[in-house]
Structure 1
C-alpha cells in the first residue's frame, strides 16, 4: 500500500514551491498517525538542522519544516528500498539499514539527510533524521514506462490469484481487496498534483491490495513451505512493478509541482 513517506515527499515539495501551506503538510500527515514527532539520530545532524538529538525530547513536524526552510532545501525524494536495492540512500550506512527495515525513506539531498518513519506507540509516528553519507543523482523512471509495467502487473496479478487459488482459501477475497484499495482514497493531495500521478498511485494501490491479499496466509490454514516459496516467486515481479510505479508517480508529482513555481516567476 502507500506509505507516510509518499505523503511527506509530495506535500513537502508542494510547500517548498509555494503550492501548499505548512499547515496543509501537517494535516495531510494526520492520516498516518495522530501524533508525529521528529528526532535526529546523531548529535551532528541534530546541530546542523537545529533538531533534538537522540537523547532529547522529540519535536513536532512543524519544526522540521522550519529547519528545512533554514537549510534552503529545494527538493525531496522518495526511496522505497528492498533487499538488494538501496539506491539513493548513500551506501550501507545507518540510513540504509533503517530505511530497508521500514521499506521507505525521504531523502533531502540539499540538507544531506534522510528521514525514516517508525510507529513507536499507538497513534505516534516518529521520523528519525539520519546523515546521508553521499548524494547521488536520482534515477529517473519515466512515468509512462512505469504505468505500462503496472498495467501488465495488474493482468499478471489477476492471473496469480487464480493460479494460487486464493479465492478458495479466502471466500471474501474481493471484499478484502476492495477494502485495502479504498484506504488509498483517504489520502489527500496538493491542488497542483498532476492527474497522471494520481492515476498511477491509484492503480498501484489496487495492485498492491491484490498482492497483499495473495501474499497473506489463509485464515485458519497453513500452506507448505514449497507452496509459500512458489507464491512469493510469482508475486515478486508484481511487487517490483508497484514499487517502480509509486516512485515514478511521486517523481512526476515533484517535477510538476516544481515547474509550477517556475511558471509563476
Structure 2
C-alpha cells in the first residue's frame, strides 16, 4: 500500500460494504503508526464533527475510532463516495481547487475525500507528528463533481504492464550513463523497497484486477525509487539531470493514475 490515505480508503470501503470489521480497519492503519490522533482543520469542521481544533504539533485525542465515526456519518448521505487523492505540484487531479484541503493535500502528497460529488463533504489528511504518530486532520470541503480520471481497470492494468518494462529500461539506462558509481545490486535494493510496500495488507474482497494493478504499481515505484537513489542521486551534468527527470516523471504519473483507479474500484461501497 502506497500511503496511509490509500490504506484508509480501501479498508473503509471494505468496512462500509460489510466485508471487513472496524477492527480490520484499525489494524491496517496501525501498520503505518502505533498511535493516531484526529483533529479538525478549522472551527467549522470542529463544530460539525465535535472534534477539537488544533494545529499539527499540538494534537488532541488518541485512537482512530473517531475517524471511523466521521467516515460513517459522512457516508450516510445517499450518493456518497470515498476518494483517494495523490496530488503533486503540476498534477492536482481530483482536488477541490482553492480550498485549505487542496493546499494541505498537495503539501502532504495525499488525502481522502468523502461525500457526494458536487456537494459539501469531508476531507482527511494524515501528517506525521514525530516518528510514531499520525495526526488525521478533518476538513469541511466541497467534493469535486469528477475525479479527472478516465481509465478503466483494464487500461490501468495494461499501463502498469508497460510501466514495469519501461521502469526496468530506465533503471538500466541510468546505470550506464555515468550518473553515479553505486556498487549495490539493484535487484536487492528493489526487493527491499518492495518489502516495505508488502507489509501493508489489502482486504480480501477487493477485485483481483485491482490487486494486480496495485502490486504492479508498487513494483514500478520500487524500481523508480532505486533509480532515483542508486546511483542517480548525483547527476554529473545538467543534461544528465534533464534525462533523469524525463525518464522517471512520466512513470511516476502513470503509477499515481493507476493507483487511483484501482483504489477507487476497491473502495466502492454500493
Instruction: Give the TM-score normalised by structure 1.
Output: 0.89
Residue-by-residue CA offset, 1:52-98 (whole Å, 9 max, x unaligned)? 21267234210121233233255311111122222322102221111
Equivalence for 2:19: 19
8 A Cα contact 1:91 1:134, kept in partner: no
Secondary structure of 1:117's partner? Answer: strand
Equivalence for 1:66: 69
Q: CA deviation at 1:229?
A: 2.4
2: CA distance between counterparts of 1:137 and 1:49? 25
- Once the two structures are overlaid, the 10-residue window that deviates more, 224-233 or 235-244, is 224-233
1:254 aligns with 2:267: yes
Equivalence for 1:137: 146
Q: CA deviation at 1:123?
A: 0.8
2: CA distance between counterparts of 1:217 and 1:191? 35
Q: CA deviation at 1:120?
A: 1.1
Give the number of equivalent residue pairs: 257
Structure 1 runs not aligned, ≥5 long? 260-265
1: CA distance between counterparts of 2:15 and 2:231? 43
Matches within 5 A, 1:34-53: 34-53=34-53
Equivalence for 2:174: 164
1: CA distance between counterparts of 2:266 and 2:238? 41
Secondary structure of 2:92's partner? Answer: coil
2: CA distance between counterparts of 1:31 and 1:60? 13
> Which contiguous aligned blocks of 4+ residues in structure 1 show a shift greater than 4 angstroms?
219-222
Structure 2 runs not aligned, ≥5 long? none
1:118 aligns with 2:124: no
- Once the two structures are overlaid, the 10-residue window that deviates more, 76-85 or 46-55, is 46-55
Higher helix share: 1
Q: CA deviation at 1:49?
A: 1.7
8 A Cα contact 2:157 2:212, kept in partner: no
Equivalence for 1:54: 54
2: CA distance between counterparts of 1:136 and 1:58? 33
